[in-house]
A and B are shown apart, each in its own frame.
Chain A
Amino acid sequence: ETGVTQTPRHLVMGMTNKKSLKCEQHLGHNAMYWYKQSAKKPLELMFVYNFKEQTENNSVPSRFSPECPNSSHLFLHLHTLQPEDSALYLCASSQGGTGKETQYFGPGTRLLVL
């Protein structure tokens, strides 16, 4: 148990659905991250939030919409996804957002887009 929780753990959705992934950290951290991990591909950083402000967006398609209402919660809103978006979506958090801090990951949400 790392102190970072993600729900749901598994999600199956059609291309026309709208769903949201939730991440919560109980570590008192102030930076949160979304990563995508596809089969046989490197870990891809998607978004970074530092003190609720988005500080990085790595050219992620607009069908992925992040939301960070406070330092403990992070959401990833999904709409009109494609089958190639099927992957493990990982949330992480760290104390501070300078890029030097250790990141702690949640268990991930396994997403399947049909």
Chain B
Amino acid sequence: DAKTTQPPSMDCAEGRAANLPCNHSTISGNEYVYWYRQIHSQGPQYIIHGLKNNETNEMASLIITEDRKSSTLILPHATLRDTAVYYCIVRASDYKLSFGAGTTVTVRA
């Protein structure tokens, strides 16, 4: 699976949109971009995934650049409960989910 690069941390104001970047410049054509988050000492929570097109669900939006070398996860209205470590993963058909260091997002009141 391709490697991803994320900023180690970011702060966000409550009620504002949080834009989390991820670089995956070596992504292959059949690899999906997945986002998970993990609140301290809990299991990872699936957020969203996509291949080429932008995706939106009840939790977030995923914007993938046309060349697919980077993506942005958007939390439209961050709340204090969104404070977590966010992981960007690219995978094709491997059982193993490889979480890197992720981005520690702190939402402040």
Contacts and interface: CB of A to CB of B under 8 A. Distances in A.
Nearest first, the 4 closest Cβ-Cβ pairs linking A and B are A105-B43, A45-B96, A99-B93, A99-B95
A57 B70 CA distance: 33
B26 interface: no
Contacts of B49: 102
Interface residues of A, number: 27
Most chain B CB neighbours (cut-off 10 Å) among A43, A45, A90, A97 = A43
Contact of B34 (A55, A56, A90, A102): A102
Interface of B: 32, 34, 41-46, 49, 92-100
A110 interface: yes
Given A58-B96, A100-B92, 6 more contacts: A4-B43, A42-B98, A99-B93, A102-B49, A107-B43, A108-B41
Nearest to B30: A100
Nearest to B49: A102
A103 B46 contact: yes
A50 to B, nearest CB: 9
Contacts of A42: 98-100
A99 B45 contact: no
Nearest to B99: A43
